Each structure stands twice: as structure tokens, then as C-alpha cells.
Chain A
Amino acid sequence: MPQIAQLADTWSSQVFWLLVFFGITFFVVGNLMVPKVMNTVAERDGQIAADLAAAKAARDAADEQEEAWRVRENENRAAAQAIVAKAKDDAAAKSETKLKAAQTRIDKKLADAEARIGEARTQALAEVESVAVEAAQDIVKTLAGVKVTKPVATKAVKEAMANG
């Protein structure tokens, strides 16, 4: 077993070179390089945490703005609906007055027309009477040869028409 057989000859060399090379490893790799590597990791972790925090803040801000927008939007919608309702009411009121005016005009026209018709009928009736009187006078004169005066004829016609 060379580990024991060569112990007396080699132990000092083994210890010396191990201390040299492990020392180099410890002071150069362990003390100088490893902290830098770990710093890089720590920086990256910090950066990731900061980025996540920033993203969260941005999301919160976006949520806030969305909420504000929603409130504004609701207000706008309510206002628009109010305007529409008002316009509808206005239009309804206007059309009602117009309709009323038109109605009165039509009523008036109807009344006028009725009055005119009534007048025309009385006139026509009077004319029929006068025609009937004249016709009655003519008929009597032709048939009986009797000359009937107008008032008498009128009276007779009126009686006849009243009897109907």
C-alpha cells in the first residue's frame, strides 16, 4: 500500500503541494471568484423581484384606470340616456301640441262645412218649395183653369209637404 509504504518519503511533499494548490483554490476561486458569481445571482434575483414589483404596480395602476374609466363610462351612459329620454319627451310633447292644433283646425273646418251644408239644405228646401208652388199653380191652372194666387199655393204646398 503506497500510501503507507511511501509515507515517510512523501508526506511533506503531499502536505506542501496540497496547501499550495488548495490555498490557491481557496484564495483565488473561493474568495475572489465565487462571491462575484453569487453577486451576479443576487443581482439577478433582485432584478427579477424589482421587475415583478414594477409589473404588479403597473397592473394595479391599470386596474385603477380601468375602474376610473368604468365609472366615467357609466356616468356618460347615464347622461346619454337622460338626453335621449329628454329628447323623446320633448318630441312627444311637440307632436302632441301639433296634433292638438291640427285637431282643432279640422274640427273648425268640419263645423264650417256642416254649417254650410245646413245652409245649402235650407236654401235647397226653399227652392224646392218655390218650385213646388210654381208647379202647383201651373198644374191647377192647366187642369182646372183656375188661377191660384201665390200665397194660397204656397200655403197648400206647405201643408202638403208638412204632411209629407
Chain B
Amino acid sequence: MAAEQAKVDPMYQFTIKPLGGSDEWALGEGFNIAFTNSAMWMLITTVVLFLFVLGGMRRQLVPGRWQMMVETFTGFIDNMLEANIGKAGRKYVPYVFSLFMFILFANLLGLLPLGIVGVHPFTFTSHFTVTGVLAIISFSIVLLVGFWKHGFHFFSLFVPHGTPLPMIPVIAPIEFISFMVRPFSLALRLFVAMMAGHVLLEVLSSFVIDGTNAGVGFGLLVGLPSFILMIGICALELLVAGIQAYVFALLTALYINDAENLH
């Protein structure tokens, strides 16, 4: 496809483009809210996730495959929250489930090989604006729950249990910094993992294309091994898609546990 340009830009896939002449949509003064390809894939993710969960709402006593699958996911989140937070973790199931499934579906939908039919999937979790907002939401919940439940006593989170008194002035700032870094690490981890995988696939595909264009010899020497490697890395990316969604949800659960139970 990019043969005439003789160059594949691995970053081009992350470009945000407004769809259907929505460039000028704005909210108030200067806040552009153009409906972009990124927003389109958020919509697709939402719809697919809605349909997925809807299929699990048949409420049969003996569940079918689909219902079983949805119940496995809710049970998975429920168990994770109960294991990390305890009985109080139940009330966070709607949020953590939405978070986990939204990220998981976004990651997986972004990996679909739709380029074959000319549609370009867009992985919006490879944008730190998106992962950042999700991380800030999680972090805000931690802060709200923490201050709501414990008031100013929540600051004792920065003094780990059993810290010797003279050490507190040293430990507390370190704990505070590590606490404040959490939203950044949360956002960057997902963003970097998704972006790196997609860049890697794109770079390898450029090896396949350019190598094949350079002739049969290069095609066999460079193109074919790259193509085989791509297949393996696609499988790895599917794994990463699941793991990153899980890590995001798990860390959110752990942070909420800090707020809920305060060591």
C-alpha cells in the first residue's frame, strides 16, 4: 500500500483524524471536540462491550456459553476485588469491571486485522490522553474514598506501619512521592505497552514490504523471517492486551484497597 512512497511510517497509525467534517465541533471557547477516528473506536468499543454484556443477561439458571463467558468476567473482577479489598470491594465491581473490559476491548479491537478490508483499527489506549484520563479517574476515586472514609487520618498512609519515629520525616516524603507517581505510572504503563507493540508490528511489516520490494533474495532473507516473527508477536500482543487491562484493573484495586483499609 505504501510501496510507491517506499517508506512506512510506524507512527502514522496513531494519527488522530476528525471524521465526517466534525473538525470545527467545539465546546465553549476553543475546546475542540471533533469526532475523530479515536472517538469512533471508543464508540465501537462501547457498543461491542454493551452487546457482549447484553448477551450475558439472559439470566438462565443453566448458563449458555455466552452467559458463562460474561459471568466468568464479572466473577473474575468480583474475586479480584474481594481478594484485594475484602467484602467492601464489592461496591467497586461496576467501576473496575467497566475499566477492565473497556481497556481489554479497546486493546483487542485495536489489534483486529481489519487493514485487510481497508478499515484501519485505531487503538485509543495507545494515547496517553486517554490512559491519563482513566488513571486520573482511578486516582480520584482513591483520593475521594480515602478522605471520605478516613478524613485527614488518610495522610497516615504515608507513614508505613511500624516506622521508627526518627525515620518519619524521611519516609513520609518518599511515600508521598511514590503515591503521587501512581497515576503517571498507571497511565504510562498502558500507553507505552500498547504503543510499543503496535510500533513493533508496523516496523516488522515495513521490513516485509520493503524487503519483498527489493527482490526475491531480500524477500526470503528479511521479509519471510520478519513475517514469521510478526505472527508470533501478534500472539504476544494479544497476551499483552489482556495483561495490561488486568494490570490496570489490579493496580486500581490495590490503590482502592489503600484508601478503603489504610493498611
Q: How far is the CB of B68 from chain A (nearest CB, A)?
A: 10
Check A26/B94 contact, CB under 8 A, given A10-B32, A15-B129, A33-B57: yes
- B39 interface contact, C-beta 8 A: yes
Is A3 within 8 A of B14, CB to CB?
yes
- A2 interface contact, C-beta 8 A: yes
Is A18 within 8 A of B195, CB to CB?
no
Q: How far is the CB of A90 from chain B (nearest CB, A)?
A: 66
Contact of A3 among B50, B97, B102, B126 (CB under 8 A): B126
Is A14 within 8 A of B75, CB to CB?
no
CB neighbours (8 Å) of A11 from chain B are: 129
Is B127 within 8 A of A3, CB to CB?
yes
- B231 interface contact, C-beta 8 A: no
CB neighbours (8 Å) of B38 from chain A are: 10, 13-14, 17
CB neighbours (8 Å) of A47 from chain B are: 61
CA distance A17 to B42 in the complex (A): 8
**Closest residue of B by beta carbon distance from A28:** B50
**Considering the complex, which residues of chain A in the window 107-163 have a beta carbon less than 8 Å from any beta carbon of chain B?**
none
| Number of interface residues, chain A, beta carbon within 8 A | 37
Contact of A13 among B39, B71, B126 (CB under 8 A): B39
| Number of interface residues, chain B, beta carbon within 8 A | 54
CA distance A47 to B10 in the complex (A): 54
**Considering the complex, which residues of chain B in the window 1-44 have a beta carbon less than 8 Å from any beta carbon of chain A?**
11-12, 14-16, 18, 25, 27, 31-36, 38-39, 42-43
What DSSP secondary structure best describes chain B's contact surface?
helix
CB neighbours (8 Å) of B12 from chain A are: 2
Q: How far is the CB of B19 from chain A (nearest CB, A)?
A: 11
Q: Which of A35-43, A75-83, A98-106 contacts B (4 or more CB under 8 A)?
A: A35-43
CB neighbours (8 Å) of A59 from chain B are: none
Q: Per-residue 0/1 for B85-118: is the Cβ within 8 Å of any A Cβ (1 yes, 0 no)?
A: 0000000011101100110000000000000000
Is B33 within 8 A of A25, CB to CB?
no
Count of A-B contacts with CB under 8 A?
141
CA distance A19 to B27 in the complex (A): 14
What DSSP secondary structure best describes chain A's contact surface?
helix
Check A18/B42 contact, CB under 8 A, given A1-B11, A2-B15, A12-B31: yes
Is A41 within 8 A of B71, CB to CB?
yes
CA distance A2 to B18 in the complex (A): 14
Q: How far is the CB of A113 from chain B (nearest CB, A)?
A: 97
CB neighbours (8 Å) of B43 from chain A are: 17, 21
17 A–B contact pairs at CB < 8 A?
A1-B11, A3-B14, A3-B128, A10-B36, A12-B27, A13-B34, A13-B36, A17-B43, A18-B42, A21-B46, A22-B98, A22-B133, A25-B45, A25-B101, A26-B94, A38-B78, A44-B63
Instruction: List residues of chain B with CB under 8 Å of any chain A CB.
Output: 11-12, 14-16, 18, 25, 27, 31-36, 38-39, 42-43, 45-46, 49-50, 53-54, 56-57, 59-61, 63, 67, 70-71, 74-75, 78, 93-95, 97-98, 101-102, 124, 126-130, 133-134, 137, 191, 195
